[in-house]
Amino acid sequence: MKTETSAVNIDRSKGDFFYPEAHVRDAGAGLSERTVRYISDVKEDPDWVREFRLRGLKTFLEKPLPTHWASKDLEAIDFDKIRYYLSPGTEAKRSWDEVPDDIKRTFERLGIPEQERKFLAGVEAQFDSEAVYSNIKKAVGEQGVIFVGSTEGLKNYPEIFRKWFGKVIPIADNKFSALNSAVFSGGSFIYVPPGVKVKHPLQAYFRINAENFGQFERTLIIADEGSEVTYMEGCTAPKFNTPTLHSAVVELVALKGAKIQYITVQNWASNVFNLVTKRGLAQENAEVKWIDCNIGSRLTMKYPSVIMKGRKARGEVLSIALANDGQHQDTGAKMIHAADETTSNIISKSISIGKGRATYRGLVHVPKHLKHCKNNTECDALLINATSRTDTYPAITVRGTGNAVQHEASVSQVSAEQIFYMQQRGLSEAQAMSLSVNGFVNDLVRQFPMEYSVELKRLIELEMEGSVG
């Protein structure tokens, strides 16, 4: 394990964030009880968190990899080589000016102009294990909205935090939620008081900057009765020679009548293993909506879920996945109906390019004696090249009468006639292809907030470059 002294003499000015060597806190490579205790010590965890982490570690070590159904590629992750905690040892910045240039530049490359960013109600940026920037607009803060990092959340607001933390996604939910429970760091904690409608989205931005590093942020959002909030997250990482692991846990709690919208644009480098557990709990009349776009990573396994626990609760997942050469987007949705008159909707669109593989994996569960539950699932896959691959694996359980569930999926390709038509009118083949793909996702993208639909279209265009011919 590296010691703290190895990097203690560095200049802590903002530019140093570029270099992994700038990390003052480094848990070293490999995972053991010592690693977990190190993280607890650095973060000055209260006792219950220390215990929680150790239980997470035990569960992680006990559970096998889910390779009986999931990709064998998971075996390529070398848990002994990963570094589980890296931090510059500084507090999160409160002013945008202090944020390093490279992060700003990345924002710009993603196509989000400075102006649009100004509309955000709050931003948090995470660099490896810890938040480097966290800010919430004064007006929103005055309404009682809490938007801080998870560490700050558990320390400053234990009475709300502890009540829900680990309740929507228990430690033992799966191997990677257990891993996250052991070594989590960073992520956001949001609390929206009753009746408060946060007009502009809150945003978090995650970046992995160090080689062999695992990022394990933990986000908890609680929307109290009748409140509304939109949260957006983006993520990127430079491409290193060795694989990187990102394994987050996101828990959403929408109390009576509340609405949470959670938007992700995932654009990790193509050697990141992105294994994320996301689940929302919707009480009576509440709504949880996941908008999930997966463009990057080597292997993504992510199935945003909604447990509809109260009457008339609603759950929705809108998902777009783009799998290029060397990528496997294994995404989907889970809808657990646990009360009468609950409704859920899943719309998933995937595009496979080159040797890319896109998988939809879904679960819809309507248990006994529920009345008037409805689910609609639509999955459409588009194949661009002869070597592209797509799979669909839904599992639907319905018990009893009085419920309606329907699932539909289709696979198609860009028609040669369409391409010919556009080429005839002077578009290049690549432009024509890009236009067709945008047409394929357009009806879904239109439902996204404007900034994100612009960003997404740009990303798709970038990915489509050089995919034909």
Contact residues toward another protein (CB under 8 A) are: 68-69, 366, 368-369, 381, 383-413
Instruction: Kindly tell me which of 407 and 458 has the beta carbon lying closer to another protein.
Output: 407
Minimum distance of another protein from residue 396's CB (angstroms): 4
Instruction: Kindly tell me which of 200 and 389 has the beta carbon lying closer to another protein.
Output: 389
Minimum distance of another protein from residue 101's CB (angstroms): 43
Minimum distance of another protein from residue 320's CB (angstroms): 18
Q: Which residues contact 131 (CB under 8 A, 6 or more apart)?
A: 92, 124, 125, 149, 186
Residue type, 22: A
457, two tokens: 């279209």
Instruction: Kindly tell me which of 406 and 428 has the beta carbon lying closer to another protein.
Output: 406
The CA distance from 267 to 366, in Å, is: 33
Minimum distance of another protein from residue 390's CB (angstroms): 5
The CA distance from 241 to 398, in Å, is: 46
Minimum distance of another protein from residue 275's CB (angstroms): 19
Burial, 163: exposed, middle or buried (Cβ in 10 Å; 0-12, 13-18, 19+)? exposed
* Three-class secondary structure of residue 386 per DSSP: coil
Q: Cite the beta strand spans of 247-356 per DSSP E.
A: 249-254, 259-266, 272-282, 287-294, 299-302, 305-308, 314-323, 328-337, 343-352
Minimum distance of another protein from residue 258's CB (angstroms): 29
The CA distance from 186 to 164, in Å, is: 17
Phi then psi for residue 381, to 5 deg, are: -120, 140
Instruction: Kindly tell me which of 69 and 80 has the beta carbon lying closer to another protein.
Output: 69
Instruction: Kindly tell me which of 44 and 69 has the beta carbon lying closer to another protein.
Output: 69
Residue type, 308: M
Instruction: Kindly tell me which of 305 and 390 has the beta carbon lying closer to another protein.
Output: 390
Minimum distance of another protein from residue 201's CB (angstroms): 35
Write the DSSP assignment of 356-369 as a string of letters: -EEEEEEEEEE-TT
Instruction: Kindly tell me which of 21 and 325 has the beta carbon lying closer to another protein.
Output: 325
Instruction: Kindly tell me which of 166 and 354 has the beta carbon lying closer to another protein.
Output: 354
Minimum distance of another protein from residue 315's CB (angstroms): 17
Write the DSSP assignment of 179-232 as a string of letters: HHHHH----EEEEE-TT-B--S-EEEEEE--STTBEE--EEEEEE-TT-EEEEE
246 and 219 Cβ atoms separated by less than 8 Å: no
Instruction: Kindly tell me which of 31 and 366 has the beta carbon lying closer to another protein.
Output: 366
Minimum distance of another protein from residue 127's CB (angstroms): 39
